Amino acid sequence: MSKKKTKYVCSNCGYETIRWIGKCPECESWNSFTEEIIETGKHRKEKHSGSYKTFKLSRTIAESEKRIKTGINEFDRVLGGGMMPGSVILIGGDPGIGKSTLVLQAASRINGNVLYVTGEESINQISQRAKRLGINSDSLSVLTETNLENILTAVEKEKPDVVIVDSIQTVYKPELDNTAGTVTQIRESASELMNVAKKQNCSVVLIGHVTKEGIIAGPKILEHIVDTVLQFEGEKSHSYRILRSQKNRFGNTNEIGIFEMLETGLQEVKNPSEIFLNERSTDISGTVVTASIEGSRPLLIEVQALVTPSYYGNPQRVATGFDYRRLAILLAVLEKRAGLKLFSQNVFLNIAGGLRIDEPAIDLAVCVAIVSSFQNRIAKNGLVIIGEVGLGGEIRSVTHIDKRINEAAKLGFGKIILPAGNKKNFSSLNSDLRDKLEINFTDDLNKALQHSFER
Annotated binding residues for ATP, written as ranges, equal 93-100
CA dihedral for 214, 216, 217, 221, sign (positive or negative): negative
Helices and strands in the chain: count of H runs, count of E runs = 13, 21
**Residue 153, C-beta contacts closer than 8 angstroms, at least 6 positions apart:** none
- CA-CA distance, 348 to 371, in Å (whole number)? 12
- CA-CA distance, 4 to 37, in Å (whole number)? 7
Residues forming the annotated binding site? Answer: 93-100
The enclosing H or E element of 105 equals helix 99-109
- Residue 266's identity, in one-letter code, is L
Does residue 159 contact residue 139 with C-beta atoms inside 8 Å?
no
- CA-CA distance, 135 to 259, in Å (whole number)? 18
- CA-CA distance, 341 to 371, in Å (whole number)? 11
CA distances to 76, 158, 303, 369, 446 from 363, in Å? 31, 53, 10, 10, 14
Q: Is 336 helix (H, G, I), strand (E, B) or coil?
A: helix
- CA-CA distance, 106 to 443, in Å (whole number)? 47
* Cis-peptide, bond into residue 167, ω within 30° of zero: yes
- Residue 437's identity, in one-letter code, is L
Does residue 292 contact residue 407 with C-beta atoms inside 8 Å?
no
Q: How far is CA 211 from the centre of its chain?
A: 15
- CA-CA distance, 52 to 49, in Å (whole number)? 10
- CA-CA distance, 301 to 303, in Å (whole number)? 7
- CA-CA distance, 289 to 320, in Å (whole number)? 16
Per the DSSP assignment, residues forming a β-bridge with 262 are 265
Does residue 421 contact residue 444 with C-beta atoms inside 8 Å?
no
The count of other CB atoms within 10 Å of the CB of residue 204 is 28
